[in-house]
Every structure is written in structure tokens, then in C-alpha cells.
Amino acid sequence: MQDGDEPNRAEWIRLVLAQQQGPLLRYAARITGDIERARDVVQDTFLRLCRERPERLNSHLTEWLFTVCRNRALDVVRKESRTRTLTEIDLSSRQSDEPSPALTAERRETTGELLQAIDDLPANQQEVIQLKFQNDLSYREISRITNLSVSNVGFLIHTGIKTLRQRVRALEGVSHED
Amino acid sequence: MKIDPNDPRLTAYVLGELDDAERTKIEALLQDDETARREIETIRTARATITNELRSEPCPRLAPEQIAAIHERAASRKPARAPFPWWRLLGWATALGAATALTLLQFRPLDQHREKARRLPVYTASPNSSTVAGATAETGHLRLEAPPAPKDVSGSLTLSLNRPEPNPPAIAGQPGRSSTTPQSQHGPSMVTPGSDASGKTVVRANQEITSRLVEIAPASPAQSSSGATLTYNDGHAAWQAGAVSAYRAIGRAESSIGQPNDRITISRGAESRTLPLDDVQSLNYAQSGNESPHSYYDRGQIEWDQYFPPQTESVSPSSPSAESYSHSIENPFVTVAQNPLSTFGLDADTASYANIRRFLNQGTLPPHDAVRIEEMLNYFSYDYPRPHGREPFALYAEMSECPWNPAHRLALIGLKATDIASHKIQPMNLVFLIDVSGSMGDQNELPLVKQALRLLVDQLTPRDRVAIVVYAGDSRVALRSTPGDDKTAILEVIDSLEAGGSTNGGAGIQSAYREALANFIEGGVNRVILCTDGDFNVGVTDPNQLVQMVQQQAQSHVFLTILGVGMGNLKDSTMQKLADKGSGNYAYIDNLDEAHKVLVEQMRGTLVTVARDAKVQIEFNPTLVRSYRLIGYEKRRLRARDFNNDRKVAGDIGAGHTVTALYEIVPATAPAEPGVDPLKYQSSPRSAASAELMTVKLRYKDPEASTSQLLTAAVRDSGASWRGTSSDFRFAASVAAFGMILRDSPYKGASTFNLVHELADGARGRDENGYRSEFISLVDQARTLSGNVVPDDP
């Protein structure tokens, strides 16, 4: 029976890959600021997934993937900036870093003011907003992925939305317009 | 006590992140805190916009060689630890109660997930799970239940996919592919839920109970085929889990534990289907999202396409470009024993037919998902008896043999809405909301809209009013509300419209409603007429958000009519959704004749609503009917209990409309379906005395009323032969058969283009406007086109 498991597991990987590579790449790209580095990170993440047993990850697969992906991405960022260790706090000042031309170009076509405003947020707010709104993860899941407390996650998201509302007029409700 | 608008709990509330106690507290505070309520609304808007924006970010992919490397590793590598038959343990654990289930934690690889694992679902094996490998049960079913959870685990939920393994999902539609199911390769002992062909189930429980994610992943290798349909047979009625051309159906379960509204919703794009918890035998379609102000399961749904790589989107080779259609699975046959009630909302929209005609006239077959059979049926008018007296509807029914399956019966249920004489039409307050963006420049778009509106303006009287709002990159009021007899002024503005710029449908809609409200005619027809290709490509593009706004406006009795035009980037799904949810209607205008039909001949039907929230419920008599299938109306299916729920929004019916629904019926005398044992206990002759085949119930609201009226009729099968049927019946049958052929439906039976032609040809009736003749020529065109799929070299 165990042998029979193998092709089935490969199928599972294929499935998860098809479904999650996009979201993970977007996430990693935001951390590394570079789509190529993001691709390496996500590939690593999936190679690690190949070592896991599907049923062990079933109920928290997404969370596992994002956690591993995040750690790998932070590793890469740390290696790139050898002079200092990039901690969570450092991460929040990374906003001043220019995203790579490739990423910017990819962005420019489809997005407007709002995405720009999200890019301008402190990195920790960007990250939780991305996890919440792009990937529909709960505060608790985000908390475990980012090692922030649940209430901290809630605060960051709340503050992030507030800032975006101030900067992007379209975010103010219908009743407020004019 | 006031809430500080800076309180993060407000955001957490909107995002569904509060626990029960906190949420109740916040809701109580919101009751008398206007400022906080506005803040909540603003956060909701922001959430929708941010979600929409972030999800539309480009979704990059790994490089092909990276993907290959991962697949190679996946194929070669053994898992780190020996497999453990944990499902057996789980079976015992469940039997012993939730506390025992905690022992499983030690097998979880990551400690940090401990808490989650406790809250999260376990797989419950069937009662005889200890012999799972040898189980021979034929049935499997999806069961959602609240476990006997410890008190501190608020809102915990168990989703169990109870599916003994020897019952693989039959893969329909791609017979050549199904040979690769794991079952056929590895025998019947594959029960590993992570990759079980019969389905993987993952629940991600959020803090908020009303927001749970369920992923149902039939990890069957149907990935190679686009458009393959996974059919689960639960032993009673086959339900299709989704036309998963890739791998999985992903849905969102919305549930409040132990509440009557518990359900699972499986959604794809604008479409969702709902599985009520207490009615697990059938997978019901439902239009979700309009039950209460606090439910938002229509928003924040997973973007299906995000999980389905683009190659799965090839709905049809003939789909030329950026047109989008929401995907739908046809209603299956369901047994009366399991589902005596069939419930759906009425729909008098006709857009799909006009759109199909456009495709055929352009020389291509329409994409399957562009074919909505109910909209084809309702495109034609039928000569049903008119209602008497003050009732707005008359019901009609007819039954005979089913032309594409002689062993079955075909039942027609028709409804005729009362008409209103032209001189009795209430004064109209119309706002034309016209998309003048660059995408509308084509001859079939803005110029056609202008001609169409001229037709409408010609009929206006001095009591009517017209305003014109145009939108592109931004919106402006091109004509302030003007009396209907000032035709010069109105036509001048219409003639001056030119296309250019990008589209922001959201902002335009807001101005149009403002204009309509400012000139509201009490007791009159107040309507925004949106003319667009539906490509809201800038700004508030979240269809859910638009729908919400349109719904709000409908409460103030300003309704929406959508005139869809154009091709190439027609966003059929967006427009249909707007019209469905917004108490409106949607017509597709492919040429000036169609404009004439919609805006002149049937102007009253288009603009004057005689009934709202019209729903039909049919109860079948199990002694006469074994099973049935509602043809079409996939997007209109309702849960049985929604029939009597006046808060459940359904379709609007315009003056003089006819609405037609067809059921294919398997008589109780028909031979049993292969593979399903006869039921031992279900056929009790409790209603044997009745010769009634079914009872039709109709609920509707008068346009201004908030409570519904009920009409009921019992239907007997007089055994009418095909010869004895009306031409309306035969014509409707031919339309349905045509639709099923165009959809390549598994239920089309013996339907062929020739059969459709023959049926329709003998059922032209009076055909005053030539629509039936036109239908026949479209059938011939489709026959030619489908014959020409293989290019023939001279």
C-alpha cells in the first residue's frame, strides 16, 4: 500500500503547486523585492514540501507553505545584505528599497494608485495586509506565519487600512463621496 | 457608550476576526453609534477594494525548469517518515470523542499548529471505519457537523468527508482520462485523504464562525483535460463537484454552528452552490449573499481562477478573447425520495439567447458557459393563459414524453404575468447610464446603444423624465432630468456621445442613482438603464461591491436594467450578477432588431415590474416520480426553506412576461438506475392515493410589498402523447434540446440538431415576430458550424 502512495503524493504536489505557486510568488516577491529571487525561494519551499507527508499538512497546508516561504525569503534577504542581519524590525524599514525593475514593470501595467499606496506602507503592514486580503488568511494564521501576536496583527491591519484610506480616495465609502 | 473609530476591533469585526462574545458586544455598541456604523461601512468598502486590487496583482509562475525539478523530486522522494495508518486512529478517536482526538497532536509536524489542529476538523471515517480497507459501502457523503467540542473551543467545526474508498468519483466528460484514477491503479485501499481521489477536505477555521474555508479537492488526475467534470455519486443522486479542469473545487463554507443556515458554499467566480448542512444529499445551487446585512459570503470568496491556471480557462475554442462567463454545472437528476422539493427563483432574462445568436452569426459556436437554457427558453413568448382579476400571474403546466429520452416525461411549467395597457403605464423616471469608454467604440456598441435609446425616447410621454449620465475615466451628468416630450434636447445629447477613455463603472452607477433619486416619481417607474459591455476596467471593479450598492438602491425602489452590448470583452458574468442581485434585468442587444424587441415591443416587460422575488417550488409525488431534473436555472436554484423566506431575494417579473421551466422526469415505473440498489424503506405508499404528479407553488411580492403571496396548483399527468401537445410545449422542448447540445450536456440524450430543427419547425405557432423562424435558422447555422469543426480541404 505504501508504494501505491507515491504517485498519489506526486499528484498532490502537482496540485498544490498549481494552486499555490502564484500566491507564494507574490508574497516572496514582496519580501525579497525581486521576482527572480522569489522564484528561487518558492522553488525551495516546494522542494521542502516534497519531504512532507500530505496528510500531516492537510489542515494547515497554506499556513505551512507561507511560513516556510517567509523564512526562506528572509534567509535570502539576509544573505544579500551581509553587512547586517535583517530582523523583523529591519524589515519594516525596507520600504525605501527600490523594488527591482522587473517587478515594477510587471506592476505598472495593471495597477494603480492603491497598489502603489500599499507598496508605500511599512513592510510589516504590507505583509499582513497581503496575507489577509490577497490570501485570505485569518489573524491567527498570520500571527503564526509572521511570529507576531494576534492583536499585533489586528493592529497592523487596522492601521494599514487607515493609512490607505487617507492616501487613496477611492477607499472612502460610497456615502462619503463628493 | 461610543466606540473609538480607531479601535482595531472595528476592522477585526468587518474581517470576521472577532469571537462570538466580542462580536456580540460590538454589534450591541453599533446599534446606537451612527459614527461607528459609518466607519464599519467605510472599512467594508476598503476591504473590498483592497482585496480586489491585491487579487488582481499579476500571478507569476515558476520557471518551467523549476517546476520540472519539483515534480522530479516529488516523484522520486520517499517521505521522511514511514506512513502511519492514522485514519484508523482517527476513526477510533472520533468514536471516543473529541478529547481523544487531541492525542493526534503528537503526529503533527509543527508544534505551532497545535492549537489549530485542535480546533480543526478531523476526518471522520464511516461507522465501520476500522475495516476501512475492506469496506464495501457504496455510498459516501459529505457531512458537516459540530463536534462535541470542549467549551473553550468556540465555534469549532468538523467537516467530514465520509467516503469509503471503493466508490471513486466517476469522471464524466472525458472518458479516455478516467483510466488514470488512483483507484484503477492502486486498488481500493487508497484512503489517504491528502490525495484521495474521492476528495480531500480542508477546513480553515477563522475566528469568525461565519467565515470558514472549505476546500474540497478531488485530487483526481483530471488535470490533463480541460472541462472534465468530476461527478460524485453519493449513492442517491449524482452531484457534480465542479467542472474541474485542473484539480480541485474550492469553496467557502459559511456556517454558524447549529444555526438553521449552516451550509457549505462551493463557488467559482460569480457562481456559487450551497450545500445545506441538514440536506446533505443534494448539492444545491443558491445565489448567496443577499440574506442579511451581516452575511457576506458573497464577498471575499476565493477567486476561482487564481487556483485554476489559465489553461483551464479555455471554455471553448470559439471563445475569442476576454469575454468572461461564469461557469455553471448543470442540474443533475435528483431522486424524489431524497429531494421531494425543487425550488428556484424565476428569471425572465433573455441575454444568453441574444448572445448565442451573436456567436452563431459570427460563425462560431458559443462557449458552453455562455449557454443558459432558461434564458433561451424565456427569450420566446408563449401563449399561456392570461391571469384573471388582480392576480399578477397565471400558472400553466403541460406534460408529455421527453423527445430526447422516450422513457422519460417532460413537464413544462409556464407562467404568464399580467400585462399593463400602454395608457396605464405609470410615469417613468429613467436615467440612462452610458459607458462611453474606448472599449465601446465599435459599431456594435455605442452606435447601437444610441440607436436603441432613440427607440425608447420616441415612446416617452410628457409625464416621463430622462436623464443621461455617461462614464469613462470619470463620470458626468450629460443631461439633467428632462421631461419626456423635450425629445430634441434628449436626442441631441444622445447623438453627441462619443467613445473614449477607460471605464469606471462604479462611479458612473453612483451618479446615475443620485440622479434617479433626485427625480424620484412616487408610484412610478424609477429605473437606471445601464448600457455597457460590462468591462468595468478601472476603479471599483469588484462585482460584489457593485452588487451591494445596486441592492441598496433597489430598496429605495430604483431598479436596474442592463443593456449589454458588444463583443470581445463582454463581461457577461458581471452584468448577469448585477442584474440578478440588484432587482433588475439584463438584456443583451446584438442588433437593432433586438433593441426594438427589448425597448419597444416588450418595453413594459423590460421597464415595468409587476412582481418581485418570484420563486417556484415544486413538490413531486414519490409514488409517480422516481427522479427529476430541472433543465437550466442553475444559477437560480434555491434551498427548499428559502421558498417561504421573504428576505430571500429572487427574480423580478416584468409586465406581460412569460417564464418557462422544464423538468425531465423519470417515472417511478422506470427501471432502476444501474448501480443503485432499490430503496427498501422509502417507497411507503403514504401518498399512493393521489394521482397528482406534482404540486406547483409560486411565491411573489407585489412590487411595493414586503410580504409574499402564494399561488398553488396541482398537476396530473394525463399521459398525453407527443401528438397531443401544444406548439408552445414542443417549441420549448426544442429550445431546451438546442441548449443542451450547445452545452454538450451529458443529459442531452438523443438530441441532435436535426431533432431540434424538426421539433421547432412543427411548432412555429403564430410566430408574429418571426422569432421562432429565426431560431430554426440559428439551429441550422449551428449544425453547419459543428459539422465544420474539421476543416474540409477541397
Q: Do B74 and A38 touch (CB under 8 A)?
A: no
Residues of A in contact with B106 (CB under 8 A): none
| pLDDT value at residue B49 | 84
Q: Do B62 and A57 touch (CB under 8 A)?
A: no
- Please tell me whether the overall predicted TM-score, pTM, comes out greater than 0.90 for this model: no
Residues of B in contact with A110 (CB under 8 A): 56-58
Q: Do B61 and A14 touch (CB under 8 A)?
A: no
Interface test with A, best of B51, B62, B120 (most A CBs within 10 A): B62
| pLDDT value at residue B582 | 60
Nearest C-alpha in B relative to A47:
B70
For chain B, list residues with pLDDT below 50: 79-321, 538-539, 788-794
| pLDDT value at residue B175 | 34
| pLDDT tens per residue, range A8-38 | 777 788 878 887 888 899 999 988 888 888 9
Complex confidence, ipTM: 0.81
Grid coordinates standing for B67? 517546476
Query: Minimal Cα–Cα distance from B279 to chain A, Å?
Result: 25
Long-range CB pairs of B237-240 (<8 Å, 24+ gap) are: B237/B281, B237/B282, B237/B332, B237/B333, B237/B334, B237/B335, B237/B338, B237/B339, B237/B627, B238/B170, B238/B332, B238/B333, B239/B282, B239/B283, B239/B332, B240/B172, B240/B283, B240/B329, B240/B330, B240/B332
- The CA-CA-CA angle for residues B642, B300, B254, to 5°, reads 40
Closest partner CB to B302 (pick from A4, A136, A138): A136
Cβ-based contacts under 8 A for chains A and B: 263
Nearest C-alpha in A relative to B59:
A22
Residues of A in contact with B79 (CB under 8 A): 9, 51-53
| pLDDT value at residue B674 | 57
Q: Do A8 and B549 touch (CB under 8 A)?
A: no
Best CA proximity match to B570, nearest among B442, B676, B666, B687 = B442
Q: Do B59 and A23 touch (CB under 8 A)?
A: yes
Q: Find the farthest-apart pair of alpha carbons in chain A and give their distance in angstroms, rounded.
A: 67
Q: Chain A within 8 Å of B429 (Cβ-Cβ)?
A: no
Grid coordinates standing for B75? 516523484
Q: Chain A within 8 Å of B517 (Cβ-Cβ)?
A: no
| pLDDT value at residue B569 | 57
Q: Do B66 and A129 touch (CB under 8 A)?
A: no
Q: Cα–Cα distance between A28 and A30 in angstroms, integer?
A: 5
Nearest C-alpha in A relative to B112:
A144
- Calculate helix-pair angle for B753-761, B771-787, nearest 10 degrees: 160
Residues of B in contact with A157 (CB under 8 A): 8, 11, 15
Q: Do A56 and B302 touch (CB under 8 A)?
A: no
Closest partner CB to B59 (pick from A22, A111, A175): A22
Nearest C-alpha in B relative to A129:
B50
Interface test with B, best of A25, A43, A53, A68 (most B CBs within 10 A): A53
Query: Minimal Cα–Cα distance from A50 to chain B, Å?
Result: 5
Closest partner CB to A13 (pick from B47, B62, B74): B74
CB B701 within 8 A of CB B611: yes
Which residues does B553 contact at the CB level (< 8 Å), separation at least 6? B513, B516, B528, B560, B582
Residues of B in contact with A51 (CB under 8 A): 77, 79-80
Q: Do B56 and A111 touch (CB under 8 A)?
A: yes
| pLDDT tens per residue, range A107-156 | 443 346 788 888 888 888 999 999 999 888 899 899 999 988 889 999 99
